[in-house]
Amino acid sequence: MRRSERIVRITQTLLEHPNRVLSLTDMADRLSSAKSSLSEDLAIIREVFEQEGWGQLETQAGAAGGVRYIPDCSRVQAEQFVKEMATVLADPERILPGGYLYMSDILGKPEVLDMAGRMFASAFRKTGAEYVLTVETKGIPLAVSTSRYLQIPAIVVRRDHRVTEGSAVSINYVSGSRRIQTMSLSRRSLPERKKVLLIDDFMKAGGTLKAMTDLMREFHAEVVGVGVFMSTSEPTDKLVGNDYISLTTLDSVNETEREVKVIPGTYFES
Amino acid sequence: MRRSERIVRITQTLLEHPNRVLSLTDMADRLSSAKSSLSEDLAIIREVFEQEGWGQLETQAGAAGGVRYIPDCSRVQAEQFVKEMATVLADPERILPGGYLYMSDILGKPEVLDMAGRMFASAFRKTGAEYVLTVETKGIPLAVSTSRYLQIPAIVVRRDHRVTEGSAVSINYVSGSRRIQTMSLSRRSLPERKKVLLIDDFMKAGGTLKAMTDLMREFHAEVVGVGVFMSTSEPTDKLVGNDYISLTTLDSVNETEREVKVIPGTYFES
């Protein structure tokens, strides 16, 4: 097999299996090539990935050696994406009665989800997260995309308790609108004592994410990170603490003047 | 730039932008290479993609020429995946009271979602679908993955009507459990007269998917396909007609004997 053909195969395999250790022996066998050629191929791919800010290739040498593609997101790409999002989100047409902002359309676009997933995966890749947790409904696409780049399962907290979920743990909490709400998670969906990353679309005071953290305690899980697509400037102190990552910040919505101000999120503060 | 480095860049660009026409002029500029070299690179990539069953590269020649990667899924890959799924799903531990089958864990695994998304994208790629539509909650990850491979937006029908969705169109329908239920879709999420692909996790009689079809009529949308992760053998006639695609079929669940039988879906009948 020619080098260029091998490179196509290796690049595809790495991109389709982020954050997974792929055996060099298996790869060499599958490509019917010597490990030395494979190493040279990987060196070329590594260089390009790093130049382009797509992420790192981590290789372990030796008989049991492997290679792992850790997706990343360059600061330039992230900044450009957030700037674009800020412009799109600040469209006054998005203002809904009550000062809410319509953004379901954005959270359904594959290119937005891919980029947001890359950014979260990049920000949380050193946390050792084993599961991505979200609450239905609007956070699910973001959680799925993040889980894809981290190559760990996504699980969904329900607002009701469905027969198709089996036995579940439920908790009550007070939502932002001061109503008592319920959330529940199927017992089967999360083993005990796991590291969990919380992802959601929007955070104001942080009541929902706080409730998710409380729910995690019932599973003896450790919350290793909190990521949201959009947080608000006010209140400054969130119920989950201020160690969260937001991609964008909703600074103000003026329903009367029809003005929205969206600025970059806490992602860029670290 | 060496050919091998160009090949890494082109392969990544194609894989990260499925079903989108990428300008050859832009690509040649970005790689600082002649279009003739680029054509040779694409020929190599095309050959590998076709050999491996990853999909086709469609090229249009000329000044305004472009290339489009159309993801596919080989029959062998699809069969192997469905066989694996059938084994995993037939685990009697999955049986829930009432004869339901627990499968939320499976629908949260990135490798399952990737493969299911590829299969749906492959099955429906000639329909001209412009949107993927699902209903909350369990179908969302599948819809997101399918929308990623088709590179079209995913939209979510809600079971309630949320203030963050703006004005919505609601319909009532009778569910499988014979209760009257409501579903609603935000007006902003779907322009009129679009081609829509329906994706869901599970279909028994097809009442929910039938209701989604009815809801689409309110948007003057055309339903160009129906895909589900699992359908049931009984009833044989579904309310959405029998022109749907399922990846797996739940043949029987015997709660007393603790036996589940899952077989390949209608995907393989065409």
How confident is the model over A63-88, as pLDDT tens digits? 778 999 999 998 999 999 999 999 99
Whether residue A1 is predicted with pLDDT greater than 90 in this model: the reply is: no
Q: What is the mean pLDDT of chain A?
A: 94
Residue of A146, A147, A164, A190 to mutate for B, most B C-beta atoms under 10 A: A164
Whether residue A98 is predicted with pLDDT greater than 80 in this model: the reply is: yes
Whether residue A92 is predicted with pLDDT greater than 90 in this model: the reply is: yes
> What pLDDT is stored for residue B150 in this prediction?
96
pLDDT in tens, A3-61: 999 999 999 999 999 998 999 999 999 999 999 999 999 999 999 999 999 999 999 87
Helix (H, G, I), strand (E, B) or coil at A255: coil
Q: Do A8 and B136 touch (CB under 8 A)?
A: no
Window 8-37 of A: residues touching B by CB (8 A cutoff) are 8-9, 11-12, 15-16
Residue of B nearest to A45 (CA): B8
* A75-269 under CATH 3.40.50.10860, yes or no: no
Q: How confident is the model at residue A107 (pLDDT cuts 50, 70, 90)?
A: very high
Query: How many residue contacts between A and B have a Cβ separation below 8 Å?
Result: 168
Instruction: Pick out chain B residues at pLDDT < 50.
Output: none
Q: Do B136 and A137 touch (CB under 8 A)?
A: yes
> What pLDDT is stored for residue B175 in this prediction?
79
Q: How far is B174 from chain A (nearest CA, A)?
A: 17
Window 199-228 of B: residues touching A by CB (8 A cutoff) are none
Q: Closest by alpha carbon to B241, among B195, B198, B180?
A: B198
Nearest to A48 among B5, B110, B154 (CB): B5
Whether residue A228 is predicted with pLDDT greater than 90 in this model: the reply is: yes
Residue of B nearest to A115 (CA): B16
CA gap A24, A37 in Å, rounded: 11
Nearest to B136 among A5, A45, A136 (CB): A136
* A3-71 under CATH 1.10.10.10, yes or no: yes
Contact of A45 with chain B, judged by CB distance below 8 Å, is answered with: yes
Domain ranges of chain B: 3-71, 75-269
Contact (Cβ atoms closer than 8 angstroms) between residue A66 and residue A22: yes
Q: How far is A104 from chain B (nearest CA, A)?
A: 7
For tokens 């040498």, what's the residue? A61
Same CATH fold assignment for domains B3-71 and B75-269: no
- Average pLDDT in the A172-186 region? 88
Q: How far is B172 from chain A (nearest CA, A)?
A: 19
Token pair recorded at residue B263: 């077989």
Are β-strands B22-23 and A180-186 bridged in parallel, bridged antiparallel, or unpaired? Answer: unpaired
Whether residue A135 is predicted with pLDDT greater than 90 in this model: the reply is: yes
Contact (Cβ atoms closer than 8 angstroms) between residue A168 and residue A187: yes
Name residue A2's amino acid: R
> What pLDDT is stored for residue A99 in this prediction?
87
- Average pLDDT in the A201-209 region? 96
CA gap A134, A138 in Å, rounded: 9
Window 150-189 of A: residues touching B by CB (8 A cutoff) are 151-156, 158, 163-166, 186, 188-189
What burial letters (b/e) apply to A10-33, b meaning 16+ CB within 10 Å? Answer: bbbbbbebbbeeeebeebbeebeb
Nearest to A8 among B44, B141, B189 (CB): B44
